[in-house]
Amino acid sequence: MSVERSRPTAYRSIFRVGEFRALFAAQSVTVVGDQFARVALSVLVFDRTGSPAWTALTYGLTFLPDLIGGPLLSGLADRYPRRTVMVVADVTRALLVGLMAVPGMPLAVVAGLLVVVQLAGSPATAARAAMLPQVLDEDSYPAGQAVLQTVTQAAQVIGFVGGGGLVALVGTGVALLADAVTFAVSAAVVWWWVKPRPASAADADVVRHGWWHDVVAGATLVWSDARLRTLVAFACLAGFYISGEALAAPYAAELGAGPAAVGLLFGAFAAGTAVGMLVVARLPESTRLRVLPPLAVCACVPLVVCLADPGLPIVVGLFALSGAGSAYHLIASTTFVLAVPDARRGQAFGLAVTALKVAQGAGVALAGVAAEQATTHGVVGAAGVLGVLAALWVGWMWRAAERAKAAPDAG
């Protein structure tokens, strides 16, 4: 209740903090650029190969490196000054994406550069997340996190839709160069408007124990708690409904549309997610927890309609509805963070994010392979059916965990 009372004040006050505005701007511009790159790479690979599998596998490479980067590289944000980590990561990504834009670059090299770009993003994301509580006070921190999540979705809408139009007008190389520029802009914004701070005071403990100790401790904490395990399972449901995004380029081609339609399909999901998060964030906490399982199901149900092979406008609407249902992630992530002891919060949340990314990467890869043997709309629809079944199972797990948690309190 106290969080809900303070929320209006926190939302008004956070943008008065100059460092938060800098982090907000840096994240917004890089997210837009990332979506330019995702659309450009999807179109580039599909144009060169004509293969839905290679298209989806390339898209999946934007998620799978988190399996390594999350556990191994996020600790750099504690060992070194966080502003420096963010700037170095952004400059590195700007240079690598610029290389990807070189005409005639072999696809194998592009894929390798993409992996390194994603690996460089892990310490940058960890540094920003760790810095945010230093930039905002304790009351404003939750509101700041909600704002950053929402702007990420809004920036995805702009980036996906704009990326489709940009690729159609000037080609994939320019779109990739635009992504490189956004990383350079982000580095400059962070360097000039975020205060330099020394490395974390906990550096000695981090070095003494090492990353493996923290990984094991975080994994043990999550696995031993039924609620935390189930919240991670909710996150992993994204591996089903992400099939629509993974197959956006071949789906648009199947519908007889061009690159602009690829951006619309990408953007529809992001737009639905942004709207859904804004609505969910205003619900009372007790209501949010009740709607968590139904919303997870709703993220998958619209894709089932794709089995009927509807036209492009309907598919865009279905993707938007799926995105709106996926706003359950806001409930799951905030509940997860609050349920984890502060001493293990970063590591546990990092493992949860890694599980999410791996599920997404596996989902897009499997969808691409399946699309080699079946119609694109059939694969997306089948993924929706499987997602509904999985969401119902995870919802049952959640209700069981909630009943077990409430039983000792009742006693």
Based on the domain organization, do 296 and 238 belong to the same domain? yes
For the residues 224-231, what does the mean pLDDT come to?
93
Q: Tell me which residue has tokens 């995004």.
A: 245
pLDDT digits (tens, 9 = 90+) for 324-337: 999 899 788 877 87
| pLDDT at residue 141, as a whole number | 63
Based on the domain organization, do 228 and 343 belong to the same domain? yes
pLDDT > 90 fraction of the chain, expressed in percent and rounded: 32
Domain count for the chain: 2
| pLDDT at residue 173, as a whole number | 81
208 found inside a domain: no
> 50 or 85: which carries more pLDDT confidence?
85
Q: Tell me which residue has tokens 């993003």.
A: 121
CA distances from 353 to 71, 110, 123, 356 (A): 10, 25, 13, 5
202 found inside a domain: no
Choosing from 193, 228, 257, the residue where a domain stops is: 193
Based on the domain organization, do 189 and 221 belong to the same domain? no
Based on the domain organization, do 21 and 61 belong to the same domain? yes
Q: What is the CATH number of the domain that holds 258?
A: 1.20.1250.20
Based on the domain organization, do 160 and 273 belong to the same domain? no
> 234 or 7: which carries more pLDDT confidence?
234
- CA proximity to 126, closest of 185, 73, 179: 73
| pLDDT at residue 2, as a whole number | 40
Residue ranges of alpha helices (H) inside 172-258 are 172-193, 203-223, 226-236, 238-241, 243-246, 248-254
Amino acid making up residue 221: L
Q: Using N-to-C axis directions, what is the helix angle for 52-60 and 107-135, rounded to 10°?
A: 30
For the residues 35-54, what does the mean pLDDT come to?
78
106 found inside a domain: yes
What range defines the domain where residue 119 resides?
Answer: 1-193
Residue 6 has pLDDT above 50, yes or no: no
Based on the domain organization, do 331 and 294 belong to the same domain? yes
Choosing from 141, 161, 193, the residue where a domain stops is: 193
Q: Of 146-155, 195-204, 250-259, 262-271, which range is least confident?
A: 195-204
For the residues 369-396, what does the mean pLDDT come to?
95
pLDDT digits (tens, 9 = 90+) for 136-149: 775 666 567 677 87
Enumerate residues 6+ apart whose C-beta is below 8 A from 304.
Answer: 381, 384, 385, 388
Based on the domain organization, do 105 and 56 belong to the same domain? yes
| Calpha distance 378→394 (Å, rounded) | 24
207 found inside a domain: no
Based on the domain organization, do 222 and 187 belong to the same domain? no
Based on the domain organization, do 164 and 309 belong to the same domain? no
Based on the domain organization, do 105 and 226 belong to the same domain? no
Residue 3 has pLDDT above 70, yes or no: no
Based on the domain organization, do 233 and 348 belong to the same domain? yes
Q: What is the radius of gyration, based on Cα positions, of the chain?
A: 21
| Calpha distance 349→337 (Å, rounded) | 7
